[in-house]
Copies of this chain bind each other. A is one copy, B any other.
Amino acid sequence: MTESIERDERHRARMQRKKALIDEKIAQSQDEYGLLLVHSGNGKGKSSSAFGMVARALGHGIKVGVVQFIKGAASTGEEAFFRRFPDEVSYHVMGEGFTWETQDRQRDIDKAREAWAVAVQLLNDPGIGLVVLDELNIALKYGYLELEAVLADIEARPLLQHVVVTGRGALPGMIEAADTVTEMSLVKHAFKAGVKAQKGVEF
């Protein structure tokens, strides 16, 4: 019951903040503010597009935070590369994060919450201009994290901080909250069944 009231209050606070932000955006529509971008769909490029934005941000001298919510789902190549710049990129992979194989829902929930606690630290840091929440949509879709709470934390971030959320199956509430949503669709995938994943392209 208390939890339900808290959730309602969070929702109300979030909606109030959202309204204030929208009013502000409309009033000062030429001003800069941090965007919430969502990359969803069944095609390729959701995560790699986010990591291209990391490179872009670093080129502008903007510091970046990354949390990968599914260990092994994202590229080990990107991780190896961006870990070269520890002063510029704060890179976090869920320690023994949930995978498709664990079959232990409570453990997965615990790990997702630990990862979210790291995300919240990045979302609270005004020194970080871009936060990538890789495969967050999956954690939300499985109910490992509560959408309302996640959106409240995202929307409480510093005004100029950009956030990119990736993963197929973005929840409607995430799409509603986003400034920009891109759907990556697979048009063609030759030899899908036969050809093994290619280093440097697929992982």
Q: How many of A's residues come within 8 Å of B, CB to CB?
A: 64
Q: Is the CB of A55 within 8 A of B45?
A: no
User: Bound state CA distance, A189 and B36, in angstroms?
Assistant: 10
Instruction: Kindly state whether residue A144 has any CB partner on chain B within 8 Å.
Output: no
Instruction: Kindly state whether residue A162 has any CB partner on chain B within 8 Å.
Output: yes
Q: Is the CB of A188 within 8 A of B178?
A: yes
Please report A residues at the B interface, Cβ cutoff 8 Å.
25-26, 29-30, 32-35, 37, 39-41, 43-45, 47-60, 62, 75-82, 129-130, 162, 175, 178-191, 194-196, 198-201, 203
Q: What are 29 inter-chain pairs, A to B, with CB distance below 8 A?
A: A32-B199, A35-B201, A40-B187, A41-B185, A44-B49, A45-B45, A45-B49, A47-B52, A49-B184, A50-B52, A52-B52, A53-B200, A53-B201, A55-B55, A55-B81, A56-B78, A56-B200, A57-B77, A59-B75, A60-B77, A60-B80, A62-B200, A129-B200, A179-B189, A180-B189, A180-B190, A182-B186, A183-B185, A183-B187
